[in-house]
Structure 1
Amino acid sequence: MGKIHSAFKEGFESVCNHLETPSIKDLYNFLGYCFTFGESLLHHHETEDEPTPTPTPIPNLSAILNGMKHNLFTHLDDEIRDLSPERLRVFEWPELKQIINQSDAYAKKNTDPFIFLPFFTSHIAPDNRD
């Protein structure tokens, strides 16, 4: 999970960096990247929680992203700690296997492998690759 969260952080930083000076010639690809980042983050979060989305106008995307960065990064770091092997040892193997199977089934049903997988394979830092 730490590698996935690192990929989210790198993707977030990339979006924010490119918002400062977006390339008009490559705007379509940048918007696709933003969409892919958002979709990947949403699907990852949905496998953990039951979100209640609230529509929000987007007058200044950069300000919105910068405003949520601290809470998002803190949440991602806390999740690694909260879902560490030491904390998960409170579950018996059959319970843990059921949780994993439910999470896998949800991900297979609700994510697009043509968006999610390429995003992560291209955003895991070399230091985090096995």
Structure 2
Amino acid sequence: MYVKINGKDIKDYDFDYTDIMQNTFLFHTKDCVGWRDRYLDWMCDLGWLTCDSGNGMFYKNIILVFEHWSNVGKGFFSNGQKLRDKILEDFMEEEGIFSILVIEDEDFIWVDGTPSYAEDYEPAFKVFNIYLIL
């Protein structure tokens, strides 16, 4: 599954971000807007992202791309860093959403804080592979 989010559309967490995510991932509810706990329940459960391969259930691998990441939360009074940090916290393993964080920067890819050449990068399987395009 490939999902692309335009960072320019995310001005705040509780309304813009949760609304975009619940619509993008087709939650079976529309009541996550303004409720982080409800949003995280859907994202952490992941039962709605399973498939049956014939040999048992498994999670779909999701490639989540945030384009214009540097514009997330950017406004007249904010550079957006707190909002970007809050979004990334949702995908840390302590929160229960298993992911690999990838930031593309010219020839390098930064994977969970470690730089590597793009051509040498082989993603490990996790439910969410997150790409931040600055």
Same fold, judged at TM 0.5 (above):
no
Higher percent of residues as strand: 2
- Measured against the shorter chain, the TM-score band is under 0.3
Return the TM-score normalized by structure 2: 0.27
Instruction: Flag the structure with larger Rg.
Output: 1
Greater share of residues in helix = 1
Q: Which has the higher contact order (CA 8 A, sep 6+)?
A: 1
